[in-house]
Amino acid sequence: MLRDEDKVGGARHRLLGPIVAGALVVLVSYSGPMFIIQEAARNAGLSAGQASSWIFTVSVGSGVAGLVLSVLLRQPIVVAFSSAGAVLLSSSLGTYRYGDAIGAYLVVSLACVAIGLSSTFGRLMARVPAPIVSAMLAGVLFRFGTGYFAALPGSPARARVTVLVALMGATYFVARSRGSRLTIVWTALVGVVATVALRLTTGASVALAVVRPEATRPTLHAGAVIGLALPLLAIALSSQFAPGYGVLKEAGYEPRMNPVLAVTGAAGALLAPFGCPGLNLAAITAGLATGPDAHPDPARRYLAGVWAGLFYVAVGVFGASALSMFASMPQEFVAAVTGLGLFGTIVSSAATAFSDPAQRDAAGVTLLCAAAGFSLFHVASPFWALVAGLAVSALAERRRTVGLPGRRRS
């Protein structure tokens, strides 16, 4: 028989578990990707209003879509914005007019709706070899990983910055070695404290303000559709929806991908004119809502998805305040937290890319092409990386089918 204090503790866990899990989902989501969004907006020359509108749409959209799906499916569905997608935009968004980029966002979301309604998710994922998609992702992320080391200036005049970046790196790898699920959260917190202690803040004012979303008329441009929409869709399906499905499956749920794709796609399409590049099923943060820490009863863990949605909406409404807070941090801090936050994704993507010996040449070409960061015919390198990788893969497959040189055909 349970003691009274055990019953009280169990009841407290059932009550607070989903709330804490939902808060952690949002905290982890904002510890890394938000800095990537800030850098992407700056690289693309977006106004402060456009940047805060972007944060508003991905936050509120993720919150509402996750809340609706969690209640509808009675599963802990966490919706998020893709950090890998934000990285792609950071390197490619400035290549296109903003209206053309908005049009590409709309195409991505409508494609997700179509895939969800047509039940083609599994067949579509089978079309592109996983090593090639992972290699494209690793290539796109590559310069952000090296950005951490580039933030170590090594100059005596910048000794405080070196201390900051080194301290963040040490925190990250110590936490990672201990298997912490909040590695990047600890890294960001230590970085913030160190930034203040070392007096490295830029002096930018932080004001509490509610976002007023700015709409941009979407225009369709073939270059933007090919160079932005297709890579964003490939990244969303392979690095968000597919692993997110796996996390739910591993937790004992039977994920229904059709409504997930349809709802997230519809929400993304509605918010695209305001700067939303697409909404995805969460992958990394989904694990925070699907485990026993969220609720001892698997049937009640959907409440963690509900709370995560509510916290997303609350934070998104004050997205301008979040943006001004990030702007007060030194560039080296942003580079460090971004590079370290993407380290695990870079390593796992590279491992997947080169895991199949038959696809290694194709994966190598894809990675190097994506990392080059060029634009050809107004189409950014991630698309050309996919094209080059698929071409090399097809040649290798044809060689295996026809037969190796010196081998008699049957």
Distances in Å between the Cα of 408 and the Cα atoms of 100, 399, 402, 404 are 53, 13, 10, 8
Which one, of 288, 244, 286, lies nearest residue 112 by Cα?
A: 244
Q: Higher pLDDT residue, 184 or 358?
A: 358
Which residues does 220 contact at the CB level (< 8 Å), separation at least 6? 100, 103, 107
pLDDT at residue 254, rounded to an integer: 82
Strand partners, 280: 80
Answer with the residue of higher pLDDT: 264 or 335: 264
User: 386 φ, ψ to 5°?
Assistant: -65, -45
Percent of the residues in the chain that have a pLDDT greater than 90, as a whole number: 23
Backbone angles phi, psi at 292, to 5 degrees: -65, -20
**Candidate from 107-111, 281-285, 352-356, 370-374 with smallest mean pLDDT:** 281-285
pLDDT above 50: residue 408 = no
Task: Annotate 373-391 with DSSP letters as a single string.
Answer: --EETTEEHHHHHHHHHHH
Of residues 166 and 123, which shows the higher confidence score?
Answer: 166
Render pLDDT for 43-93 as a digit per residue (tens, 0 to 9): 788 887 888 888 889 999 999 999 999 999 999 999 988 777 887 887 788
Q: Which residue has the tokens 């869709």?
A: 233
Q: Rounded to the nearest 5°, which phi and psi values hold at 309? A: -60, -45
The pLDDT of residue 235 is above 60: yes
CA distances from 229 to 65, 186, 223, 373 (A): 21, 34, 9, 16
Bridge partners (DSSP) of residue 79 are 281
Q: Picking from 3-17, 21-35, 245-259, 346-360, which range would have the lowest pLDDT averaged per residue? A: 3-17
Confidence of residue 409 (pLDDT cuts 50, 70, 90): very low
pLDDT digits (tens, 9 = 90+) for 296-323: 888 999 998 999 999 899 888 876 566 5
User: Mean pLDDT highest for which of 204-208, 215-219, 231-235?
Assistant: 215-219
Report the DSSP pairing between strands 375-376 and 280-281.
unpaired
- Position 209 scores a pLDDT of 63
- The confidence band for 5, taking pLDDT boundaries of 50, 70 and 90, is very low
Between CA 248 and CA 260 the distance in angstroms is 12
User: Would you state the torsion angle of the CA atoms of residues 28, 30, 31, 37, taken in this order, to the nearest 10 degrees?
Assistant: 140
The answer, yes or no, to whether residue 181 has pLDDT greater than 70, is no
Q: Which of 376, 375, 276 is nearest to 37 (CA)?
A: 276
Q: Which residue is associated with the tokens 């202690």?
A: 197
Taking the C-alpha atoms of residue 254 and residue 118, their distance in angstroms, rounded to an integer, is 19
Q: Is the pTM of this model over 0.75?
A: no
The residues, ordered by sequence, that sit 6+ positions from 166 with a Cβ below 8 Å of its Cβ are: 152
- Measured in residues, the chain has a length of 410
Phi, then psi, of 378 in degrees rounded to 5: 65, 25
Domain ranges of the chain: 9-148+203-329+342-398
